[in-house]
Chain A
Amino acid sequence: MTYTQIAVLSVGVVVVLDLFVFRTRMVARKAFWASYAIIVFFQLITNGMFTGFGIVQYDGAAIIGSTSPTTGPPPMFGDGRIAFAPIEDLLFGFSLILLSISLWVLFGRMGISRTPVSGPPLWRRRVSSRTRD
């Protein structure tokens, strides 16, 4: 199978795990998509570093775009790439992020380190402890 095929398949598998196996339903939750929006912004930067500096290179036979050039960076946009990286990397990243967060929620629901809960942010804590005292 090509990277393109595995990447699409992986998203399908992880979404099925999230919805029907773990039943964490992260893809139906605002908290997940808000988090993903933040993460994907940084993913484009880090992916850009990995591929733009040639740390990781790709075979054109496995992706929609062409093989990473041996000299210089690949195209920043176009030829199947976004911010130097193959668009398949976005699917790979989505699978890794969704599976991580889904497992985190699943294990919490199973009672493993459910607490302490997050928050409040430092800036809110100051105000609240003063009003309570």
Chain B
Amino acid sequence: MLGLPSNLAYVGVLVFVLAGSLWLELVLRTRVFARLPRLLLVLAVVIWPFLLWDAYAIAEGHWFFDATRITGIYLPAEIPLDELLFFLVIPIASILTIEAVRSVRSWPVGDGSDEEQRQVAQS
């Protein structure tokens, strides 16, 4: 893909996801990375059920990877490092997206900052 080593194909897709979402932090001023402790806590929790699911699915052969298109670095339970990166990148992109929606629309989410969020948006 694009003349890059094929081992970066999986990571390349993740770069595509980041390219599609990180600009929201600057242009829609989502301030997700300004709330880093909260973001890191989400990531620290959300990866576990999905790593467990991944480990089970790999062990059972539900899905498997083209070894020439992943980094070749493996975590325990034969989980490719690429998968862990996926479980970090998708939550970040998801949170950036809902904060981008709030930036434009100020719809409530119930996180205790809805009123302040509405005032900032209308300032």
Contact = CB atoms under 8 A, between A and B. Distances in A.
Contacts of B53: 6, 10, 92
Contact of B28 (A6, A63, A117, A121): A121
A99 interface: yes
A29 interface: yes
Contacts, number: 198
B42 A39 contact: no
A117 B120 contact: yes
16 contacts: A32-B98, A35-B94, A46-B16, A53-B1, A55-B66, A59-B64, A96-B50, A100-B46, A100-B94, A105-B110, A108-B111, A108-B112, A112-B41, A114-B112, A119-B117, A121-B27
**8 tightest A-B CB contacts, nearest first:** A108-B111, A113-B38, A119-B103, A113-B35, A100-B91, A31-B107, A62-B62, A35-B98
Interface of A: 2-3, 6, 10, 24-26, 29-32, 34-35, 38-39, 42, 45-46, 49-50, 53-59, 62-63, 92-93, 96-97, 99-101, 103-109, 111-122, 124-125, 128, 132
